[in-house]
Amino acid sequence: MVTPASAPAVVTVPRSMRIGYGVGSVSTATFSTVPGLLLLFYMTNVLAVPAWIAGLVAFLPKIWDVVVNPWVGQRSDRTVSRFGARRPWMLAGAIALPVTFAATFAGPPLTGLPAAAYVALCYFLTATAYALYEVPYKAMAAEMTDDYHERSSILQWKMVFVGLAILLSGAVAPAIAGTDVSGYRLMGLVIGAVLFGSMIAAFLLTARIPVVTRAESEPSIKAQFAAARTSRPFMVLLGLSCAQMFAAGTLLAGAPYFATYTLDDPAATTTLFLCVVGPLLVTMPGWVRLSRRYDKRGAMVLGSALFLAGTVAMAFSAQFGEIYAHACVLVVGIGYAGLQLLQFSMLSDVIVYDAAVTGKRRAGVFTGLWTAAETVVFAFGALVLGWILGVSGFVESDPKTPVEQPESAVQAALYGSTLIPALFMGVAIALTLRYSLTAAKLREAGNLKPAEA
């Protein structure tokens, strides 16, 4: 039992600061969405890059995240400046990311392997710039409060902005890009401007956010990985989240192919995407209530089950038509909304629990490793889909020379974007059942307010 005398007062973050923090997630959500949705299709159907090479281009720059993200986490943990520990890094990312992102889609008139090389270079620089911003931004969530449920409330506001950003970017980016090179160039510029606005706003609006705790960094990158392995809750959460992110990455990368070759309606990419992300805007309060009633683990199982059921049902879209397909994707979206909220909330819990049992604050360490794994696995979904398409005989093309795909490629596009995500979401459910860091366990560690002890 935690007594009032021994428990610190809970810091309630004002709504204005929650909103200010949440604004920054517009950039993270937009960057996670647009390349995942369009980059693979852009290369195979606009730049005439072979599918298996396009998958590599989308994936390999993310391997760099395994190195750069923990390094940024370590350095930001140790940073002392008049802007605080996290915000200088966020500012650097805000300056670099919009430029490198726009350049990725605004290259010289190349096709085939030269185009693949150019996109790979730009995307490598983009991944580096993104790490400068995202790692310290995510670390902030665990440092604003040490209350279990307050973190869910903070992240609820964050997810509102995530939903808005994904909704707008996922709908607007394909509409601007269209099917030709000039459209993709314009899209890169527009999305780059959105990234800049969100990141600069977050830098300015987080100036007065409270820091309840400060992080201590492990002395080396190797030690950071060793530190992560000592936290069983973190490793289990990382595993289940990687399975979820792989499923989401494959589904997202496959959406344009699903719309084009299964539904025979390329414009449906936008409406399908709206069905995935629309629930983010309206279901967050419900998921918060479910996490309180059934704990976060129970709510996570429910969200994963909805995602799994929806993707399995999508596999029958060719027989039941476009309306049926959209209904299935809507079910996926409801489940995905819960996963988005709960992943980040549970990560913050893990960070706080680690501090209680080790006496160290390693927010940057955990968020750096988390972000690296998340981005690599998400991109791995595009890699796997690209290889599946390549093996199935998918024919690369550009707008000037359209081709008819063989039936094997059409089937690969369908099942690669539906049953593969479903399989890995089943793995995520199994791992979630092994996650043991509940509210009761945190209460035992003395991290909840006395009234809840």
CB 418 within 8 A of CB 320: no
The pTM is what?
Answer: 0.81
**Whole-angstrom Cα distance, residue 309 to residue 82?**
50
CB 364 within 8 A of CB 219: no
Inter-CA distances, 366 with 24, 249, 348, Å: 20, 22, 9
Is the pLDDT at 213 greater than 50? The verdict is yes
Task: Provide CB contacts within 8 A for 351, sequence distance 6+.
Answer: 142, 361, 362, 363, 366, 367
Q: What is the mean pLDDT of residues 310-323?
A: 96
Q: What pLDDT score was predicted for residue 448?
A: 42
Going by C-alpha positions, the residue among 318, 301, 314, 334 that lies closest to residue 422 is 314
Residues in the chain: 453
Is the pLDDT at 449 greater than 50? The verdict is no
**Whole-angstrom Cα distance, residue 234 to residue 297?**
14
Q: Exposed/middle/buried for 400, CB within 10 Å: 0-12, 13-18, 19+?
A: exposed
Write the single-letter amino acid at 201.
Answer: A
Report which DSSP code applies to 90: H
Q: What is the mean pLDDT of residues 329-340?
A: 95
Distance of CA 442 to the CA centre of its chain: 26
- Of 2-16, 262-276, 316-330, 385-399, minimum mean pLDDT range: 2-16
Is the pLDDT at 4 greater than 50? The verdict is no
- What average pLDDT is seen over the chain? 86
Instruction: Please tell me which residue, 383 or 340, carries the higher pLDDT value.
Output: 383
Q: What is the mean pLDDT of residues 310-330?
A: 97
**What structural domains and CATH numbers belong to the chain?**
15-208+219-396+404-446 (1.20.1250.20)
For tokens 């990560």, the residue is 347
pLDDT tier, 197 (very low <50, low <70, confident <90, very high otherwise): very high
For tokens 């709960």, the residue is 342
**Whole-angstrom Cα distance, residue 300 to residue 284?**
13
Residue 80 burial (CB count, 10 A)? 9
Q: What pLDDT score was predicted for residue 2?
A: 40
Going by C-alpha positions, the residue among 410, 345, 443, 398 that lies closest to residue 54 is 398
pLDDT tier, 75 (very low <50, low <70, confident <90, very high otherwise): confident
Instruction: Please tell me which residue, 408 or 340, carries the higher pLDDT value.
Output: 408
List b or e across 16-34, with b for residues whose CB sees 16 or more CB atoms inside 10 angstroms: ebbebbbbbbbbbbbbbbb
Reported as a single tens digit per residue, the pLDDT across 147-171 is: 656 666 677 777 778 878 888 888 8
Q: Backbone phi, then psi, for 401, in 5-degree steps?
A: -130, 70
For tokens 């808005």, the residue is 164
Q: What pLDDT score was predicted for residue 299?
A: 95
Going by C-alpha positions, the residue among 269, 37, 254, 274 that lies closest to residue 175 is 269
pLDDT tier, 425 (very low <50, low <70, confident <90, very high otherwise): very high
pLDDT tier, 146 (very low <50, low <70, confident <90, very high otherwise): low
**Whole-angstrom Cα distance, residue 77 to residue 93?**
16
pLDDT tier, 56 (very low <50, low <70, confident <90, very high otherwise): very high
Q: What is the mean pLDDT of residues 281-296?
A: 88
Q: Is 150 helix (H, G, I), strand (E, B) or coil?
A: helix
- Of 67-76, 360-369, 378-387, 432-441, minimum mean pLDDT range: 360-369
Torsion of the alpha carbons at 314, 184, 267 and 326, rounded to the nearest 10:
30
- Of 69-78, 232-241, 270-279, minimum mean pLDDT range: 69-78
Task: Provide CB contacts within 8 A for 321, sequence distance 6+.
Answer: none
pLDDT tier, 446 (very low <50, low <70, confident <90, very high otherwise): low
**Whole-angstrom Cα distance, residue 332 to residue 306?**
6
**Whole-angstrom Cα distance, residue 279 to residue 336?**
8
Q: What pLDDT score was predicted for residue 210?
A: 65
Is the pLDDT at 361 greater than 80? The verdict is no
pLDDT tier, 227 (very low <50, low <70, confident <90, very high otherwise): confident
